[in-house]
Amino acid sequence: MKQPLRNLTIQNKLLVVVVFSMMVILLVNIFLFANVNDIVKRLDDIYVSNVNLNDLSDALGSVQTSMTQYLNTKTSDAMESYYKDTKTFGTLLEMLNDRPTSNEPKLMEKNIRRMSYSYLRLTNQAIEAKRGRNVEKYNRYYEDATELYHYIASYIYSLNNKQFKTNSDSYEVLSFSLRYLEIVSSAVLVLVALGNTFLIILVTRNITNPLKALVEVANEVGEGNFNIELPDVSTNDEVGVVSKAFNKMVISMRSYIDRIKQNMKTERALKEKELMMENHLKDAQLKYLQAQISPHFLFNTLNAGAQLAMMEEADRTYEYIQKAAELFRYNMKKNNEIVTLREEMELVDNYIYILNVRFSGEIHYEKSVESGVADKLDRIMLPGMILQPIVENSVNHGIRDISWKGLITLHVYEKEEHICIEMKDNGIGIRPEILNKIMTGTLKEEDLSKASNGIGLDNVTSRLRLFCDREDVFEIFSEGEGKGTTVRIYLPGYGRCD
Amino acid sequence: MILCFCLILLSFLVILSSVIYYRRQILQSTQLIENYENEHFDKHYVMITSDSKSLFWQNVYHGARSRAAEYNAYLELLGTNLDVEYDETELLKIAIESQVDGIVVEASDDEQMVALIDKATGTGIPVVTVLDDSRNSTRQSFVGISSYNAGHEYGSQICEILEKDAAEKDRYQVIVLMGEENYDASQNLVYSGIQESVEEEYKGKASVEIKTSLISQKSAFAAEEVVRDIFLSEEQSPDIVVCLDEMYTTCAYQAAIDYNKVGKINILGYYQSDVILGGIAGNVVYSTLTVDAGRMGENCIDALWEYNKTGYVSDYIAVETVLINADNIADYIGGEERETAPSQSDDTK
């Protein structure tokens, strides 16, 4: 029974159990009702024989009475009732047994029947004799009939008694059977009810157990534990379908997670590789630049040139070579050091001077320091080589190819507890898309390194951000093409002035 | 799961056994209603006796009934199933009016009985008399012992007792207990036989007086009263009492013990009940004359059947008598048990 049940849906399972239970109870009830009916029918039948015999006895008495009445009065009424009674009696006699048998009551019936026919013959003869006014004969027939009447009455009485006794015994047995049936039926109903309850428990457990298992596993999965044993699905009902779907879902989630992990691993490895490559490249560029010229040699050469210019009294040449030598010295010395703002500003002065010598004083430079800040310039610290690359950018990309007079202004002021260094040019400005690339750091380096001395804006912003340990330390904006470019550096507090 | 199956199995067994028990109960009630066997037969014979309850007549009836069943006929012991007591003539009337196929009757030479037997044979019902005959009637056959021979047997026993007697009285008295209604018939022949036999065989000097004492079968308890009178009468106390009936023998046996007459009055009994055989074994009853009752019954049915078949039958069919006394009582005490066993079981039905 269990195997076919597994393939049924919950609805059909419940239907089967309920129908089965109802059928069993129905059958038991039908059985009980049939038996009760049977007993009641038997009880009804028991005394039928007595009732019949009483009818027979009454009919016999009526015949005797009406015959006597006719013999007494000779009225046609008496005659009529005699014939009527004879007919009734004859009909009842037809129902009696007429065969020799070992069954005592049946044999008595036979004797009663035969004697009754003799009796009716005698009564008829008595009536006939009365009609024929044969007094002697009708008296004799009457006496014989009366004697026989007594015998028959006695026979009927005896048979009635006998049957009543038998019927009473039967009644007793049936009555006992009825009581017994009551007990048996109660017991059977209780047993069937218990059996049904048990069956329903079995079937519902068959339904709920897989659900419980599923809930348990779902809870585990909900807590993030995918490495669990999946519930074994053996049924094909709704719960079985849900369990199978759940198992499938857990399995595909597992494989999806594995795949993501694998992808992340691969991506990380690729990034590492890329970073390393960039590092190596930088390293190579640096080494290349360093290899180009020995700074000390260059510095000594320039110093020798300055002394030569001084001896020849060429003052402007001496000054120029002197400033160029300072620039290189600074560059060589402070490239990776923390410097004061004043030093940085002096470097910008030197750089502008050299450029103006180179470009015949084309670049106008204006410098202003807010009065409150001027005396702090020696205490405001920042990474070296920050301002010079910005000025270099302004010259190279801003004012080199313009038709009007190029102007670069440097303004240092204090704003909301920040030291703000603002560098402004009136060059060609920057297109918004390029500006955006610079701000997000996605501008390719090769775009910038063509004409620079190697230190790009990206480098400047990176170092500033690291130095100040915050992001909003540098901003660059341009109002459009031909409108110049402004760069602002915010040093929190006094930078690292303390 | 196993527990579940065990419970279901147990419940099933309980229900099944209850239902089987219940069906048996119902069947029992049905059997009561249908009342024992219900076998059909071709012929219906009746037997009418003076005392249908006595062991002798019960044995006759059972022998006859078994034989009748062989001929596919049913023998009814008429009157036993009625609540009213009818005498033999009334039962005979009932049998005639019931138009049975044959009558076996313990008859007498009573006029009414003869008339009724004649009426029965006149309406085509064959009649066989048994044990006591109705010689003047038109009955088809008589099955019985030869009363005359029985008388001679009793006579011989009387002579034996008298010759053995040490008292050597001058005068011995013998009382023969007879049924009043049968006085004229067979019992009278027995009496004659006794007389003849004593006269012929007794060689002693003393005189032997043989008297009869008639017991009315119609009045209740008459036998016990008559026997009591005989045993208690001081001056006329008999030496030998001959009982021509099973019941008289039992009464005489009881009286001999009650009135301390064992050894003083010798009892010659009739038929073999447990009491009578016990009496012989205990030397209270001297001897008893018996017949094979079952055989007698079978002969009656054979006679009826033969008449039905051929229209002719022997007028007289003899059944041999057997004497039981202290010498052969051992054979009968065991044999009697076997013979009475079926009749007792039938009585209890």
Per-residue pLDDT at A450? 46
* B94 reaches A (C-beta below 8 A): yes
Question: In the predicted model, what is the mean pLDDT of residues A373-387?
Answer: 85
User: Which of A39, A101, A155 is facing B40, going by the closest CB pair?
Assistant: A101
Instruction: Give the number of residues written for chain A.
Output: 498
A103 and B38: CB-CB below 8 Å? yes
- Backbone torsions φ then ψ of A490, nearest 5 degrees: -105, 120
Percent of chain A scoring above 90 in pLDDT: 25
The answer on pLDDT for A453 being more than 60 is: no
* Superfamily (CATH H level) for B147-290: Response regulator (3.40.50.2300)
**Partners of residue B81 in chain A, C-beta under 8 Å:** 104, 108, 158, 162
Specify the residue for token string 């090769």: A446
Instruction: Tell me what ipTM this predicted complex has.
Output: 0.75
User: Phi/psi at B190 (nearest 5 deg)?
Assistant: -60, -50
Instruction: Locate A11 and state its tokens.
Output: 């609805």
Note whether B48 and B280 are within 8 A (CB). no
CB contact under 8 A, B32 and A118: no
Taking contacts as CB-CB distances below 8 angstroms, the residues of chain B near A104 are: 35-36, 81
Mean pLDDT of chain A, nearest integer: 84
DSSP string, B245-287: SHHHHHHHHHHHHHTT-BTTBEEEEES--HHHHHHHHTTSEEE
- Across A378-410, b (16+ Cβ under 10 Å) vs e yields eebbbbbbbbbbbbbbbbbbbbeeeeeebbbbb
Per the CB < 8 Å rule, is A174 touching B26?
A: yes
Question: Which of B18, B26, B44 lies closest to A110 in CB terms?
Answer: B44
A374 or B335, which is more confident: A374
Task: For residues B292 and B282, give the distance between their C-alpha atoms in angstroms, rounded to a whole number.
Answer: 23
pLDDT tens track, chain B, 349 positions: 677 677 777 777 877 887 787 777 777 666 655 555 678 899 999 999 988 888 889 999 999 999 999 999 999 999 888 888 898 999 999 999 999 999 999 988 888 999 999 999 999 999 999 988 888 899 999 998 888 888 999 999 999 998 887 777 888 899 999 888 765 567 888 899 999 999 888 877 788 899 888 888 777 788 888 888 888 887 778 889 999 888 899 999 999 999 888 888 899 998 888 899 999 999 899 999 988 889 999 999 999 999 989 989 999 998 888 899 888 888 887 654 444 433 333 333 2
Q: Does B15 touch chain A (CB under 8 A)?
A: yes
Q: How far apart are CA B19 and CA A5, in angstroms?
A: 31
Cβ atoms of residues B150 and B176 within 8 Å: no
Across the interface, whether the CB atoms of A102 and B36 are under 8 A apart is answered yes
Rounded CA-CA distance A150/A61 in Å is: 10
Q: Does the beta-carbon distance from A184 to B19 stay under 8 Å? A: yes
**CA-based nearest distance B103→chain A, Å:** 14
Which element (helix H / strand E) includes B69?
Answer: helix B55-70
Please state whether the predicted TM-score (pTM) of the whole model is above 0.80.
Answer: no
Cα–Cα–Cα angle for A97, A101, A103, rounded to 5 degrees? 90
pLDDT at A294: 65
pLDDT of residue A446: 52
Nearest chain A Cα distance for residue B36, angstroms: 7
Q: Residue A259: what pLDDT?
A: 94
C-alpha to C-alpha distance for B258 and B263, rounded to whole angstroms: 13
On chain B, the residues whose CB falls within 8 A of the CB of A101 are 38-41, 74
pLDDT at B4: 67
- Place A65 in a pLDDT band, splitting at 50, 70 and 90: very high
CB of B42 within 8 Å of a chain A CB? The answer is yes
Cα–Cα distances in Å, from B90 out to A349, B76, B80, B126, B140? 175, 15, 13, 18, 20
**Cβ contact, residue pair A184, B43, below 8 Å:** no
Contact at CB, A162 and B81, closer than 8 angstroms: yes
Give B238's contacts (C-beta < 8 A, 6+ positions apart).
Answer: B173, B174, B175, B211, B230, B265
Residue A338 confidence (pLDDT) above 60:
yes
Residue A29's pLDDT band (cuts 50, 70, 90): confident
Which residues of chain A are within 8 Å of residue B101 when distances are taken between CB atoms?
A: 100
Q: Is A46 on the interface with B (CB under 8 A)?
A: yes
pLDDT of residue A288: 61
DSSP B40: B
Between CA B49 and CA B62 the distance in angstroms is: 13
Asked if A121 reaches chain B (Cβ–Cβ under 8 Å), the answer is no
Interchain contact, B32 vs A170, CB within 8 Å: yes
- Hey, is the C-beta of A157 within 8 angstroms of any chain B C-beta? yes
Phi-psi region of A455 (alpha: psi -120 to 50; beta: other; left: phi over 0): beta
Confidence band for A357, pLDDT divided at 50, 70 and 90: confident
Residue A154 sits at the chain B interface (C-beta within 8 Å): yes
Residue A143 reports pLDDT greater than 50: yes
Q: Are B59 and B298 in contact (CB under 8 A)?
A: no
Between CA B233 and CA B211 the distance in angstroms is: 15
B19–A108 C-beta distance less than 8 A: no
Q: For the CA atoms of B142, B143, B148, B153, what is the dihedral angle to 10 degrees?
A: -170
Question: What token pair was written down for A259?
Answer: 């795949």
Tokens of A318: 């001496």
Question: Is residue A119 within 8 Å of A149, Cβ to Cβ?
Answer: yes
Question: A418-425 and A406-415: which strand pairing?
Answer: antiparallel
CA distance A315 to B81: 179
Contacts of A99 in chain B (CB under 8 A): 40-41
Closest alpha carbon within chain A to B14: A188
Contact (CB, 8 A) for B202 and B237: no
Tokens 């017994």 locate to: A180
User: How many residues comprise chain B?
Assistant: 349
Q: Are A150 and A112 in contact (CB under 8 A)?
A: no
A174 touches chain B (CB under 8 A): yes
Q: How far apart are CA A16 and CA B251, in angstroms?
A: 82
The model's confidence at residue A445, banded by pLDDT at 50, 70 and 90, is low
**Domains in chain A, start-ordered, CATH in brackets?**
2-211 (1.20.120.1730), 356-496 (3.30.565.10)
Higher-pLDDT residue of A460, B315: B315
Which residues in chain B have their CB less than 8 angstroms from residue A161's CB? Answer: 83
* Residue A449 confidence (pLDDT): 44
Contact A198 B94 (CB under 8 A): no
Q: Using DSSP, how many helices (H) and how many strands (E) does chain B show?
A: 11, 12
For residue A361, report the phi and psi dihedrals to the nearest 5 degrees.
65, 30
- A457 or B161, which is more confident: B161
Beta-carbon separation of A103 and B39 below 8 A: yes
For A89-108, letters b (16+ CB in 10 Å) and e give beebbeebbeebbbbbbbbb
What DSSP string describes B85-115? ---HHHHHHHHHHTT-SEEEE---S-HHHHH
A189 φ, ψ to 5°?
-65, -40
Question: With an 8 Å Cβ cutoff, are B14 and A191 in contact?
Answer: yes
For the domain spanning B43-145+293-320+337-347, the CATH number is 3.40.50.2300
Chain A residues 273-302 with a CB less than 8 Å from chain B: none
Residues 6+ apart with CB under 8 A from A322: A306
Q: What is the largest CA-CA distance in chain B?
A: 104
Structure confidence by residue, pLDDT tens digits, A200-248: 888 888 888 888 888 988 898 888 888 888 878 777 788 888 888 988 9
Nearest Cα to Cα of residue A117 among B76, B95, B47, B99 = B99
Chain B contact for A99 (CB, 8 A cutoff): yes
Given an 8 Å threshold on Cβ–Cβ distance, is B98 in contact with A110? yes
A107 and B90 within 8 Å at the Cβ level: the answer is no
**Of the candidates A100, A110, A115, which has its C-beta nearest B94's C-beta?**
A115
Which pair of structure tokens corresponds to residue A304?
A: 């020798």
**A39 contacts on B by Cβ (under 8 Å):** 26
Q: CA dist B162 to A44, B88, B176, B204, B230, Å?
A: 71, 39, 16, 8, 19
Nearest-Å Rg of the Cα atoms of chain A is 68
Q: Where in chain B is the domain with CATH 3.40.50.2300?
A: 43-145+293-320+337-347, 147-290
Euclidean distance between CA atoms B304 and B298, whole angstroms: 10
> What is the bridge-based pairing of β-strands B266-270 and B240-243?
parallel
Query: Cβ contact (<8 Å) for B32 and A166?
Result: yes
Q: Which residues of chain B have a CB within 8 Å of the CB of A111?
A: 94, 98
User: Exposure string (b/e) for A22-35, b if CB count within 10 Å is 16 or more?
Assistant: eeeeeebeeebeeb
CB contact under 8 A, B43 and A100: yes
CB proximity B166 to A under 8 Å: no
